[in-house]
Structure 1
Amino acid sequence: MSKDEKKEEQKSSALSRRNFLGMTAGTAAAFTIVPRHVLGGAGYQAPSEMINVAGIGVGAQGGGDIQRISDPDVPIQRPQRTQTGQPFTPEQIAEQEAQQAARMAAMQQQGGQQRQQPPQGFQMPEREPVHLANIYALCDVDSQYAGYIFAGYPKAKIYTDYRRMLDNEKEIDAIVIGTPDHNHAHIAAYAMKMGKHVYCEKPLCKTIYEARKLAEIAKEMDVVTQMGNQGHASEDARLINEWIADGAIGLVREVWCWTNRPTWPQGDIPRPAGVPVPGHIDWDLWLGPAPEKAYNPDICHFVWRGLRDYGTGALGDMGAHIFDHPFWALNLGLPEKIQASSTPYNDEYWPQGEIITYEFSARGYMPPVKLTWVDGGLTAPRPPELEDGRRLPTSGALYFGDKGVLMHSDYGGSPRLIPETAMEAYERPDPWMERSPGIHAEWIEAIKNGKKSSTDFSYSSRLVETMMLGNVAVLMANRNTTLEYDAVNMKFTNLPEADDLLHYEYRKGWAL
């Protein structure tokens, strides 16, 4: 069988399963789906409505995603662990609780940053339901780290290698990816080529080439996709869009985004020395397409974000949660120019702090926009509109329009016009954007009804490409030039050597 014939067979098989689930409007599907009220009353989930989901990389965020689409069969208590995966001591637990209390107190003191309430008479969508899907299989390369999730779903089939799982378990309809960034693209591509729907944690992938490739495969295979930037599904995100479209601050020409990340090691520091690999970890599979390097427990849980082989730094970690909102509300598209500066770094780690400036061209009636991203403890300059005694959020964004200023925290949270008198005087428009039941429920519903999800790969790939262009600019900062980007041809017109950073050479056997 040729490669093309195999692809068509996989696509045909996947479409047949979707027909059973009711994704098409055909007569057969109409008789397949039995309304839940007929079988068991309100809240009953008809078996034929259930999507079989497999989780890949479930020891941390991926495990949380799994629990948000289906309650565990056995109650789960997520272990409190350090960034390197070690259990917290009682003293560390107490410290964490104290820090959380301090953060809550600081939010109360910021004034005017209370969460927005919808206009009077507007019905908020219900909270994200549980039992949206059947957890059919779970896969993780670290059986110890993911053990608490495995225990919560005793009926799920357990695997170490996602390829073997997907090859063996034909009843899987969709997957959730919660692995480190460098494995996202390969897992998503492998699954989509088999006709599986994909929810992938942010950032969608590690390189600009991968972003383009995943969008291409998703379109070709006609699967439902979603990137896990949870704030995109929020009420606050829709308020930001509606207020800007309403002209609340006029035409926006400048935006600042910032984050308090990294909270993990980055900068000009040495990679930890290699140690023997414990028996509960398949280090070769953890590395995936990345260069073959020695194992160390201080890099394989959470703190991998700071290493250039595996993570995408502070921008990759939080850009999808902060950058997303101006990108969406202002319909920015891909930038024409990018310039960056940073603190020292090396071949192993991203820098501790960065300043990245993007220039976007005009879009319809919207003027050109200059967007500046800063991280590593830096924030935007304090705007004169912000009242004395009121602080900028530790992570967030500022939009400067010709009629006012809009501010929000990370994830698009608590949007406000500033000063507060402007917020109080603003007559909000009636809601017009479709509301989301939640990032996970939205994806499952889209699988069932054939609709697009709001941050599918056609959207999220462009957002992530823009973010990763910032990382390229950081690595090219020593050339002392502003990068000029030809988005149509995916290349830099004034510094061709920067094209080498659009992708990297995979380890042998890991072609995308």
Structure 2
Amino acid sequence: TSGLCPYNWRFWWDYGTGETGNWCCHILEIPFWALDLTYPEKVSATGPAVDPERTSKGMDVVFDFPAIEGRGPVKLYWSHGGFNQAIREYRDQFPNIRMGNNFFVGTKGVISCDFDWHEVHLFDKTAEYQKPEETIPPSPGFHREWINAIKGGEPATCNFDFSGKIAEAGLLGNAAYRVGAAEPIRWNWKEMKSPDCAAIDEFNYPNYRKGWEIG
């Protein structure tokens, strides 16, 4: 029907995962790559009242990632359907900043960026930004990367080992929203369960109709 095809099927829980599942695998690639993120250890989500059939038009998700060698813990915010309040103070501090899909807050300043541009703004207005040397080789394009990988070359940049973690985070955010986890719940990624919220199992281990089971 016109209410589902060709695009709107994404906004029905029976078929899709809403804007979070639809876009996080693209937008969150930047922080996952830049900060070497893997699996969150805590998650919380808020938004409008849950509709059992339709995905949410707005959602705020907070992921807590553990510290690893070379960096401390990371708090990652996902928002759609409105402006994220967590970065409002920095927008006020840098009124001319260009807002993109991603916003990093560090100890010395902030970075606002999108898929093809970035801006760096330092808290110390007298300091001069020193651009680091480029270490990531230019991509020949994702089609060529895919073909090269098929032919036995280097794995594609966004291979399943990397991109699967991003998709999993987005789906976890949806599940946290649907169970009403407004306060952080712990997440055991190895077991795909939360020791704080058994209700989340409904979305990770659904009961499929006979004949449609997995495994």
TM (norm. structure 1) is 0.39
1:288-307 Cα shifts (integer Å, max 9, x gaps): xxxxxxxx321121011111
Q: 2:90 aligns with which of 383, 401, 424?
A: 383
Q: 1:509 to 1:487 in 2, by over 3 A?
A: same
Counterpart residue type for residue 495 of structure 1: C
How do residues 382-421 of structure 1 correspond to structure 2 at under 5 angstroms?
A: 382-383=89-90, 387-393=94-100, 396-409=101-114, 412-418=115-121
2:9 is aligned to: 304
Determine which structure has the larger helix proportion and give its number. Answer: 1
Tell me the equivalent position of 2:140: 437
What CA distance in whole angstroms lies between the structure 2 residues aligned with 1:420 and 1:359?
24
Pairing 1:349–2:54 present: yes
For residues 266-281 of structure 1, what are the structure 2 equivalents within 5 Å? Answer: none
Residue 390 of structure 1 and its aligned partner are, at CA, apart by 4.4
Equivalence map 1:2-401=2 (5 Å): 296-379=1-84, 380-383=87-90, 387-393=94-100, 396-401=101-106
Cα distance, 1:504 vs. partner? Answer: 2.4
Amino acid at match of 1:350: T
Kindly tell me: are residues 419 and 365 of structure 1, through their superposed partners in 2, closer, same or farther at Cα, counting changes over 3 Å? Answer: closer
Alpha-carbon distance between aligned partners in 2 of 1:300 and 1:329, rounded to the nearest angstrom: 35
Contact 1:386 1:419 (8 Å CA) reproduced: no
For residues 199 and 158 of structure 2, the distance between their equivalents in structure 1, rounded to whole angstroms, comes to 32
Cα separation, partners in 2 of 1:450 and 1:391, compared to 1, 3 Å: closer
Q: Which residue of 2 aligns with 1:504?
A: 206
CA contact (8 A) 1:385 1:419 kept: no
**CA-to-aligned-CA distance 1:437-491 (integer Å, 9 cap, x gap):** 11111111111233211111111111111111101110111x6542211112221
Cα distance in 1 for residues equivalent to 2:123 and 2:188: 41
Helix, strand or coil: the match of 1:425?
A: coil
Q: 1:421 to 1:367 in 2, by over 3 A?
A: closer
CA contact (8 A) 1:485 1:493 kept: yes
> Does structure 2 conserve the Cα–Cα contact (< 8 Å) formed by 1:344 and 1:352?
no
| Deviation string, structure 1 residues 72-114 (Cα, Å, up to 9, x no partner) | xxxxxxxxxxxxxxxxxxxxxxxxxxxxxxxxxxxxxxxxxxx
Shift of residue 402, structure 1, vs aligned partner: 0.8
In structure 1, give the amino acid aligned to 2:51. Answer: N
Q: Deviations over 1:333-354 (max 9, x none)?
A: 1001101111123111111111
Q: What is the Cα deviation at residue 357 of structure 1?
A: 0.7
Gaps of 5+ in 1: 1-295
Tell me the secondary structure at the aligned position of residue 402 of structure 1. Answer: coil
**Could you list the per-position Cα deviations for residues 409-462 of structure 1 after superposition, in whole angstroms to 9, with x for gaps in the alignment?**
2xx33111026997x932322222232111111111111233211111111111
- 2:145 maps to amino acid: E
Overall identity of the aligned pairs, in %: 31
Structure 2 residues without counterparts, runs of 5 or longer: none
Q: Following the alignment from structure 2 to structure 1, what is the Cα–Cα distance between the partners of residues 97 and 119?
A: 13
Asked whether the equivalents of residues 185 and 196 of structure 2 are also in contact (C-alpha less than 8 Å), the reply is yes
CA distance in 2, matches of 1:490, 1:345: 22
Supply the distance in 2 between the matched residues of 1:420 and 1:340 (Cα, whole angstroms). 30
Higher RCO structure (Cα 8 Å, ≥6 apart): 2
CA 1:363–1:330 in structure 2 vs 1: closer, same or farther (change >3 Å)? Answer: same
- Helix, strand or coil at the partner of 2:172: helix
Report the structure number with the largest CA radius of gyration: 1
Q: CA RMSD in A?
A: 2.3
Give the Cα–Cα distance (whole angstroms) in 1 for the partners of residues 5 and 205 of structure 2.
Answer: 22
1:473 aligns with 2:176: yes
Q: Residues 337 and 483 of structure 1 are in contact (CA less than 8 Å); yes or no, is this contact kept in structure 2?
A: yes
SS of alignment partner, residue 166 of structure 2: helix
**CA-to-aligned-CA distance 1:196-247 (integer Å, 9 cap, x gap):** xxxxxxxxxxxxxxxxxxxxxxxxxxxxxxxxxxxxxxxxxxxxxxxxxxxx
- Structure 1: distance between partners of 2:93 and 2:148: 41
Q: 1:404 to 1:481 in 2, by over 3 A?
A: closer
SS in structure 2 of the partner of residue 381 of structure 1: helix
CA distance change for structure 1 residues 486 and 457 in 2, over 3 Å: closer, same or farther? same
Deviations 1:293-329 (A, max 9, x none): xxx3211210111111111111111111211111111
TM-aligned CA distance change 1:431 to 1:350, over 3 Å: same
Matched residues in 2 for 1:362 and 1:421: separation? 26
**Residue from 450, 461, 468 that aligns with 2:164:** 461
1:74 corresponds to: none
Tell me, in whole angstroms, the C-alpha distance in 2 between the residues paired with 1:327 and 1:321. Answer: 10
Q: Distance in 1 between matches of 2:108 and 2:96?
A: 23
